[in-house]
Amino acid sequence: MPMHTPVQYMQSITTRYLRLGYTPYRWFAADTPPPWQPLTQRLSEVRLGLISTAGAYVLGQRAYHYRDDASIRAIDSDTPAENLRFSHITENYLVAARQDPACLLPLSGLRTLVRRGVLGALSKKVFSCMGGIYSQRRVQTETAPALLAALRAEAVDVALLVAM
Q: Is the pLDDT of residue 143 over 90?
A: yes
pLDDT at 111: 96
Contact 130, 148 (CB under 8 A): no
Q: Indicate left, alpha or beta for 155 from its phi (over 0: left) and psi (-120 to 50: alpha).
A: left
pTM of full prediction above 0.85: no
Looking at residue 17, its pLDDT comes to 76
Q: What is the pLDDT of residue 61?
A: 94
Q: Calculate mean pLDDT across residues 60-76.
A: 89
Count of residues making up the chain: 164
Q: Is the pLDDT of residue 130 over 90?
A: no
Spell out the domain ranges in the chain.
Answer: 44-162
- Contact predicate 159/49, CB 8 Å: yes
40 or 10, higher pLDDT:
40
Tell me what pLDDT residue 31 has. Answer: 75
What pLDDT shows up at residue 2? Answer: 57
